[in-house]
Amino acid sequence: MTPDDFRKLAALLHGRSGLVLGSDKGYLAESRLTPVSRNWGFKDATALVHALVRKEGKGAQAEVLNEVVEAMTTNESFFFRDKTPFDQFRDVILPTMMDARSDRKTIRIWSAACSSGQEPYSLAMMMTELGAKLAGWRIEIVATDLSSAMLRRAEEGQYSQFEVQRGLPIQLLAKYFEQEGDRWRLRRDVRKMVSFRKHNLLEDPRTLGKFDVIFCRNVLIYFDQETKAHVLAKIADVLAPDGYLTLGGAETVLGISSRFRPVSAQRGLYAPIPAAEAAKARSR
């Protein structure tokens, strides 16, 4: 793939998913797109990119582009990843939300860019572990991802030995998973606590409804500043005024969005700023 072909591919990916593909990712692009090329009858990744740029294939073109985006998207995930966000959820977010929502006893959580489902399922297991404390409460977990393949995997709730060893406490493995050959499947009752939907973070999330808590971790790092601001603005539109946003440890809203402020002494945790206050801050 020539440098010019790579630039065209990078532009296509950015426009479709917001993903910023660095110039050092040429080999990665070739290796990930070669199977996609063969699947669609192209000689190689270069021929595939040329067809996409020329918009050949008409109706199939959108399907090919979707496969290209999915192939190039990083799908790194594991149970209770980074631990701190889950401690914050249990010790800070949930007690506050339960107090604020005591009249309706409903909490909606959005796990954005959920990959193969470990994050939302980690939350579901936490909810189950709390047991009597949440009696009478309706906890809704909505998990979304750009990749149809990842969503299918997530809905199956089946993981390899390697995957269940990454971050998952052994007592939770024994309690909530059933072994199927050399793989492990999450119990059906826990899987049913999460609903999975396809969603591109560049698009309007209002069809998903309003949320009290949003996890959007380790995805903004792949976007440029303009795209980060765009995504954060859309997230702010569907987050309750007293809700919480959890980002990855290497991510921040500072210098990017005026719609959120850091929660004191809580790394990676943010609260929405009222629209009037945010507008006033922008006008200064």
What CATH number does residue 29 fall under?
1.10.155
Query: Is residue 48 one of the residues assigned to a domain?
Result: yes
Judge if 109 and 141 occupy the same domain.
yes
Judge if 95 and 196 occupy the same domain.
yes
Residue whose tokens read 């090329």: 37
Give the residue with greater pLDDT, 26 vs 192: 192
Let me know: does 210 contact 238? Beta carbons within 8 Å.
yes
CATH of the domain at 204: 3.40.50.150
110 — pLDDT class (breaks 50, 70, 90): very high
Query: Is residue 252 one of the residues assigned to a domain?
Result: yes
- Among the three residues 72, 104, 123, which one is the final residue of a domain in this structure? 72
d(CA 84, CA 105): 25
What was the pLDDT predicted at 230? 96
Range(s) of the domain holding residue 252: 84-283
d(CA 14, CA 5): 14
Judge if 157 and 237 occupy the same domain.
yes
Residues counted in the chain = 284
Judge if 278 and 224 occupy the same domain.
yes
Judge if 29 and 118 occupy the same domain.
no
Give the residue with greater pLDDT, 27 vs 14: 14
Judge if 114 and 45 occupy the same domain.
no
What was the pLDDT predicted at 13? 82
Report the predicted TM-score, pTM, of the whole model to 2 decimal places.
Answer: 0.84
Q: Which amino acid is located at 120 in the chain?
A: P
Is the pLDDT score of 283 beyond 70?
no
Determine the average pLDDT of the residues in 19-35: 78
Judge if 14 and 148 occupy the same domain.
no
User: What's the mean pLDDT when you consider all of the chain?
Assistant: 89
Is the pLDDT score of 280 beyond 70?
no
What strand order describes the sheet that includes 158-160? 158-160, 183-186, 177-180
Judge if 122 and 166 occupy the same domain.
yes
Q: What angle do CA 93, 110, 207 make, to 5 degrees?
A: 135
The structural domain count of the chain equals 2
What was the pLDDT predicted at 282? 54
Judge if 269 and 186 occupy the same domain.
yes
246 — pLDDT class (breaks 50, 70, 90): very high
Judge if 88 and 66 occupy the same domain.
no
Judge if 150 and 44 occupy the same domain.
no
Determine the average pLDDT of the residues in 212-240: 95
Judge if 225 and 114 occupy the same domain.
yes
Least confident of 40-44, 63-67, 256-260: 63-67
